[in-house]
């Protein structure tokens, strides 16, 4: 069971990283300052994604980024308890 959770956690984190890279690509293509702020300050990255990215890409990026990072963190917490 532990090996399965490790693999699942890694897959979720990979999806989260892909979403983060897509967000950073959008932010850096807009302005370098926006890119640095999104890279260093996570709440600003969520704000930037909601406020400045067009709707079709916005929900894909948020879904990949937060949909991968949050379950990955939850699974990692479960793994530490095993």
Total structural domains within the chain: 1
- State the Cα angle at 5 between 9 and 39, rounded to 5°: 10
Q: Provide the H-helix boundaries in 1-82.
A: 2-30, 32-40, 42-52, 55-81
pLDDT band (50, 70, 90) for residue 4? confident
pTM of the predicted structure, to 2 decimals = 0.83
The whole domain housing 41 covers 2-81
Q: What is the pLDDT of residues 18-72, one digit of tens each?
A: 999 999 999 999 999 999 999 999 899 989 999 998 888 889 998 898 889 889 8
Report pLDDT for 1.
67
pLDDT of residue 11: 92
Amino acid 80: pLDDT:
83
């Amino acid at each position: 069971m532990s090996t399965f959770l490790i693999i699942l956690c890694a897959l979720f984190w990979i999806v989260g990283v892909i979403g983060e890279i897509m967000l950073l690509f959008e932010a850096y293509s807009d302005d370098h300052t926006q890119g640095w702020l999104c890279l260093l300050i996570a709440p600003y990255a969520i704000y930037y994604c909601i406020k400045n990215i067009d709707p079709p890409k916005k929900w894909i990026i948020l879904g990949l980024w937060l949909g991968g990072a949050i379950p990955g963190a939850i699974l990692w917490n479960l793994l530490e308890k095993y």
